[in-house]
């Protein structure tokens, strides 16, 4: 496989959901790194790619199944000459006591022979930070945030060291902020010290964007790094310093015209706020989860509503949502996984009908698990990834028998007007010079 490529990969990303994977790819594109994206482990890696991201749906499946998929993806990347593997997970460390972050990271560390693995889930753009091993969203500690009500991965412990230790076999340590604040050399010295003490996993404190830059510099030559995409966005600086990247080319994404739909399977409060904003000028159809679980035909009326909107030239959002107490009642009656699968199956069928029978060509999917159910079942031959321009704005074009503009949005991220804004932007081509120095784009680095 390597012999068929002009040059080996610098970087291979493995994401535990599709929204995070697409965000990781878009950040690298914005940094001027030729990056390809796939949801199929065996998909072709284009010759010109220096980074390749494989987005999986492994966050809440059985741990051993997740490990098997992640290792298959890693072997695929290594076969293309990959220098470094990055395991991407959510900025709120979404997982259960059984995994799947710890088991997948352990398997990757064994495969790559990594002596110490850093865990950097922070996303400073949204004030999701880690201090003394505890995760915060602004001034709110994780276990007191809405994440404690997540229907699939409720986060009730704010101590990420403790959370990771509960799902791992190897000892877990901490690289505290006084070390991080002294820069990359101090971080590397601390990593060597922890390795000498028998520590293999280390959560790393992160408060400011400059911390992410220092962490990336320290980890640039490690065979394995894990975290949120935001730390990986700083890796290209080291690659350029080491002469591994040529002069970057502008990032481009073609325009796509056609009917527009938002599909939301996320029950995150942020998605609910975004749907409310979208509904001020567009139609929003909410599908009652209890009707889905009751076996009612909710597909036909949803398609009828979409057809009316499309015929009048308007966008429409269709969401499977319910109040928190109703979600808990349904989960108690049917089981968490059964409820999630029913909602995802409905939206998957709906997406295919909308695209192939109703001509939808601009599509936003909200919710990582929802995207992970819908996208792999579409006959996509290639993704063209657009550049990251800020949270909730990353998008791509999926090449099928025809192009479909996609944005895969995390349930927790994006501005209030993200749905209307992105659907409109999909109608215009993108050409942006790479962000080589300042990061994140259009933001002041602390």
What pLDDT was estimated at residue 25?
Answer: 96
Residues 174 and 276 occupy one common structural domain: no
Tokens of 49: 């790619």
Where residue 189 sits, what CATH number does that domain have?
Answer: 3.40.50.10840
Structural domain including 93 reads 7-251
DSSP 316-364: EEEEEE--HHHHHHHHHHH-HHHHHHHHHHHHHHHHHHHHHHS---EEE
d(CA 193, CA 175): 10
pLDDT of residue 146: 81
341 lies in a domain?
yes
CATH of the domain at 410: 3.40.980.20
Whether this prediction's pTM lies above 0.85 is answered by yes
In a domain, 443, yes or no: no
Characterise 336 by phi-psi region: left (phi > 0), alpha (psi -120 to 50), beta (else). alpha
The answer to whether residues 211 and 308 belong to one domain is no
Domain match, 313 and 265 both: yes
pLDDT score, position 201: 98
Q: Return the pLDDT at 266.
A: 66
Is residue 176 in some structural domain?
A: yes
Distance between CA atoms of residues 403 and 21, nearest Å: 20
Q: Which residues on adjacent β-strands are paired with residue 263?
A: 318, 365
Q: How many domains does the chain have?
A: 2
Q: What is the pLDDT of residue 432?
A: 87
Instruction: Note whether 40 and 144 are same-domain residues.
Output: yes
Q: Estimate to the nearest angstrom the gap between the alpha carbon of 186 and the chain centroid.
A: 29
Looking at the fold, whether 216 and 357 belong to one and the same domain comes out as no
Terminal alpha carbon distance of the chain: 42
200 with 278, same domain: the answer is no
- 211 and 278 share one domain: no
Half-sphere exposure of 176 (CA within 13 A, CB side): 2
In a domain, 399, yes or no: yes
**Element containing residue 403 per DSSP (H, E):** strand 403-409
In this structure, the answer to whether residues 277 and 155 fall within a common structural domain is no
Last residue of a domain, one of 234, 251, 268: 251
Q: Please report the DSSP string for 253-302 in residue order.
A: E----S-EEEEE----HHHHHHHHHHTTTSEEEEEEHHHHHTT---HHHH
Q: Residue 309: inside a domain, yes or no? A: yes
- Residue 426: the pLDDT is 95
Cα–Cα distance for residue pair 25/331, rounded to 1 Å: 34
Which residue, 188, 217, 251, sits at the end of a domain? 251
Same domain, 208 and 311: no
Nearest CA-CA partner of 300 in 313, 312, 283, 318: 318
Where is 110: in which H helix or E strand? helix 101-112
Q: Give the pLDDT of residue 443.
A: 47
Q: Are residues 372 and 421 in the same domain?
A: yes
Q: Are 427 and 291 part of one and the same domain? A: yes
Rounded distance, CA 57 to CA 335, Å?
Answer: 19
Confidence at residue 442, expressed as pLDDT on a 0 to 100 scale = 64
Report which DSSP code applies to 37: E
Asked whether residue 1 is assigned to any structural domain, the reply reads no
Which helix (H) or strand (E) segment holds residue 225: the answer is: strand 224-227
In a domain, 44, yes or no: yes
Q: Are 354 and 317 in contact (CB under 8 A)?
A: no
Residue where a domain stops, chosen among 222, 251, 280:
251
Q: Strands, E, within 1-142: which ranges?
A: 11-15, 35-38, 51-55, 84-88, 117-120, 128-131, 134-137, 140-141
Same-domain check for residues 115 and 232: yes
The one-digit pLDDT tens for each residue of the chain (446 residues) are 344 445 789 999 999 999 889 999 999 999 999 999 999 999 999 988 999 999 999 998 999 999 999 999 999 999 999 999 999 999 899 998 888 999 999 999 999 999 999 999 999 988 999 999 999 998 999 889 888 877 678 888 999 999 999 999 999 999 999 999 999 999 999 999 999 999 999 999 999 999 999 999 999 999 999 999 999 999 999 999 998 887 787 888 999 999 999 999 866 788 889 999 999 999 999 998 888 888 888 899 999 999 999 999 999 999 987 667 777 888 888 887 788 888 888 999 999 999 999 999 999 999 878 888 899 999 998 999 999 987 766 789 999 999 999 999 887 778 899 999 999 999 999 888 898 888 888 643 33
Position 111 in a domain: yes
246: helix, strand or coil: coil
């Amino acid at each position: 496989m390597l012999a068929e490529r002009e040059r080996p990969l610098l970087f291979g990303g493995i994401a535990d959901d599709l929204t995070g994977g697409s965000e990781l790819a878009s950040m690298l594109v914005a940094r001027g790194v030729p990056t390809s994206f796939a949801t199929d482990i065996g998909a072709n890696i284009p010759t010109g790619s220096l980074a390749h991201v494989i987005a999986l749906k492994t966050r809440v499946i059985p741990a051993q199944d997740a490990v098997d998929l992640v290792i298959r993806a890693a072997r695929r990347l290594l076969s293309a000459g990959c220098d470094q593997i990055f395991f991407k997970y959510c900025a709120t460390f979404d997982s259960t006591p059984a995994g799947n972050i710890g088991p997948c990271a352990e398997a990757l560390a064994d495969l790559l022979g990594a002596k110490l693995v850093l865990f950097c889930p922070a996303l400073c753009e949204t004030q999701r930070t880690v201090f003394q091993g505890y995760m915060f969203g602004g001034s709110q500690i994780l276990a007191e945030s809405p994440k404690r009500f997540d229907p699939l991965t409720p986060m009730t412990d704010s101590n990420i060291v403790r959370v990771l230790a509960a799902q791992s076999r190897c000892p877990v340590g901490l690289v505290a902020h006084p070390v991080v604040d002294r820069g990359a050399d101090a971080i590397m010295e601390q990593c060597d010290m922890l390795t000498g003490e028998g520590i293999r996993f280390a959560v790393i404190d992160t408060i400011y964007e400059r911390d992410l830059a220092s962490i990336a510099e320290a980890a640039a030559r490690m065979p394995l790094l894990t975290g949120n995409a935001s730390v990986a966005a700083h890796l290209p600086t080291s690659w350029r310093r080491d002469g591994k990247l040529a002069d970057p080319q502008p990032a481009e994404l073609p325009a796509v015209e056609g009917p527009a739909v938002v599909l939301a399977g996320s029950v995150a409060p942020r998605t609910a706020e975004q749907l409310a904003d979208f509904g001020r000028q567009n139609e929003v159809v909410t599908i009652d989860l209890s009707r889905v679980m009751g076996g009612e035909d909710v597909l036909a009326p949803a398609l009828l509503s979409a057809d009316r909107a499309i015929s009048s030239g308007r966008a429409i959002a269709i969401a499977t949502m319910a109040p928190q107490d109703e979600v808990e009642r349904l989960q108690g009656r049917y089981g968490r996984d059964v409820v999630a699968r029913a909602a995802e199956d409905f939206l998957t069928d709906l997406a295919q009908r909308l695209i192939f029978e109703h001509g939808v060509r601009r599509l936003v999917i909200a919710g990582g698990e929802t995207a992970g159910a819908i996208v792999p079942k579409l006959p996509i031959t290639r993704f063209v990834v657009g550049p990251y321009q800020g949270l909730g704005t990353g998008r791509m074009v999926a090449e099928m028998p025809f192009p479909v503009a996609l944005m895969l949005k995390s349930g927790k991220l994006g501005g209030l007007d993200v749905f209307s804004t992105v659907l409109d932007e999909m109608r215009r081509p993108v050409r942006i010079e790479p962000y080589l120095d300042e990061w994140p784009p259009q933001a002041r680095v602390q």
